[in-house]
Amino acid sequence: MSTLVCVILTSLIATTLSIGATRETVEFLIGSGGRGLKNGCSSENHGKYRVTQCSKLRNTKAPPPAPPVKKTELLVFSDQRLASVYPIIQNFKSLITSDPLGITKTWVGSDICSYRGFFCDSPPDNKSATAVASVDFNGFQLAAPTLDGFLDKLPDVALFHANSNSFSGTISPNIARLPYLYELDISNNLFSGSFPAAVLGMNGLTFLDIRFNLFTGAVPPQIFTQNLDVLFINNNNFMTTLPDNLGNTHIRYLTLANNKFTGPIPRDIFKVFSSLSEVLLLNNQITGCLPYEVGLLKEATVFDAGNNRLTGPLPFALSCLEKVEQLNFAGNQLFGMVPEVACELVKLTNFSLSDNYFTTLGPTCRFLIEKGVLDITNNCIPDLPFQKSVEECSDFIAHPSSCPQMWSYTFIPCMSSSSSGSTNPGMAPSS
C-alpha cells in the first residue's frame, strides 16, 4: 500500500513540474498530502501559508512594455540660407524674456518663412535662392536684453522694423556688414548708449528711425549728409549743438524734437526744411534768434519750436507760411510785438505764444484770442489777463537780448522786391 502511495505522489510531482508549478507549490502539495489540489487557489479550507502562495500566483503580471524610442525630428529646409539662420533665430528666442502675444510660439520647425514677423524673398545676389529678407516686429511687445547676435547675423535682411517693443542694450557695430539693409526702425524701445555710429558706413541705408529711446551724447554731423531720405532721432537724450552742415542735407523727413540740442538754429536749415510739412524742434535747449529764413517753409503745416531758449522778436517772414495750421513758440524768451501779418494767416488754427515776454498785441491778433486760436497767456501785455508780474517783466526788459541783422525781422522774403525791398538774403531791404 505504501508503495502505491509513493507512486501516486511521484506521478503528481512530475505532472506539477510539467505544467510549470513553482517550487513553493511543489512543497505545499507534498506537505498537504495532495488534499489541496482539488480545490486550488479558490478553496476556503487552505491555511495562511496557502493564501500567501496563491496570492503570489494570482498577482504575478508581465512587466510593462519598454517605452518607444523617441525619434529625433530631422529638419529639412527649403534653402541653405534658411538653415543657416535657424540657430540664430532659436538663440534669440531663448533670450526673449517677455512675449505676451505668444509670437515666438510660431518660431518652431523648418518653415522659417511662416514664423510670425519673418518674411522671405530672393536675395539680390541669387534670384533662385530663398532667404529671410525682412523682419517686422512692430507692436509685438517682445522684451530682450539685446539684439546683438541676431540682427547683425541676418546676412540677407533688407528691412528690420522693431517699433514698440522692450529691446534694450546697444546696437552692434557689426550691422555695418549687412549689405542689403536699407530700412532700420528700432524706435520706441529701451536702447541706450551713444548714437549707433555703425550706420555711418552704410551707404545703402535710406530710412533710420531711432526715436523714443535712451540714446545720449553727440549726433555725428556726417549723418546729416549721408544718403538718407528719413532720419527720426527725436525723443532721446542727445546733447550737442545743431551742426552747421545741417543746411547741406537732402533728408526729406527729419525730426529733432525732445532732445537736448543746443546753440542757434543754422540759417540754412530752413532751405532744407522747405519741402517738409512738419518742422519739429520743440523741447530742446536751442538758443539764439529766429532768422527770417523761417519764411522759406512754404510747405509747412506745423512749425513747432516750443520750450527752447529762443529770444528776440518774431520775424514778419512767418507770414509766408501760407499752408501753416499750427505755430508753437511757447516756453521761450521771445519779446516785442506779435506781428499782425502772422495773425493774418488764413489756415492758422493754433498759435501758441504763452510763456514768453511779448509786450504788444494788435487788433488782428486780439481777434484770434477771441476765436480761441491764439494763446498769449503768461506774457507781459499790460491790459490782458493771466500775464507775468510787473516785476518779472521789468527785470527781463532791463537785460535785453540783441539779435544780428535786426532789419531782417520786418523782411518778408515771399513778397516781391518792389514791395519789400531787396530779396537778397545778404542785403537789407532798401529804404
pLDDT at residue number 373: 98
pLDDT higher than 80, residue 20: no
Query: What is the Cα–Cα distance from 278 to 274, expressed in whole angstroms?
Result: 10
pLDDT higher than 70, residue 36: no
Q: Give the Å distances, CA to CA, from 247 to 59, 269, 275.
A: 94, 4, 13
Inter-axis angle of helices 23-31 and 2-18, nearest 10:
160
pLDDT at residue number 401: 84
pLDDT in tens, 259-313: 999 999 888 888 778 888 888 999 999 999 999 999 999 999 999 999 999 999 9
Query: What is the Cα–Cα distance from 164 to 215, expressed in whole angstroms?
Result: 16
Q: 96: which 3 cell numbers? A: 526673449
Query: What is the Cα–Cα distance from 431 to 424, expressed in whole angstroms?
Result: 14
pLDDT in tens, 377-424: 999 999 999 999 999 999 999 987 888 888 889 999 988 544 444 444
Q: What is the DSSP letter of 241?
A: B
Q: Taking Cα atoms as reference points, which of 330, 221, 217 lies closest to residue 266?
A: 221
Q: What's the Rg (C-alpha) of the chain?
A: 42
Q: What is the DSSP letter of 26?
A: H
CA dihedral 63, 64, 67, 68 (to 10 degrees): 90
pLDDT in tens, 70-117: 555 689 999 999 999 999 999 999 999 999 999 999 999 999 999 999
Q: What is the pTM of this model?
A: 0.76
Q: 338: which 3 cell numbers? A: 506779435
Query: What is the Cα–Cα distance from 173 to 197, expressed in whole angstroms?
Result: 7
pLDDT in tens, 148-197: 999 999 999 999 999 999 999 999 999 999 999 999 999 999 999 999 99
Average pLDDT over residues 308-334: 96
Query: What is the Cα–Cα distance from 431 to 112, expressed in whole angstroms?
Result: 73
In the structure, what pLDDT confidence band is assigned to residue 21 with cuts at 50, 70 and 90?
very low
Residue with the larger pLDDT of the pair 6 and 138: 138
CB 139 within 8 A of CB 164: yes
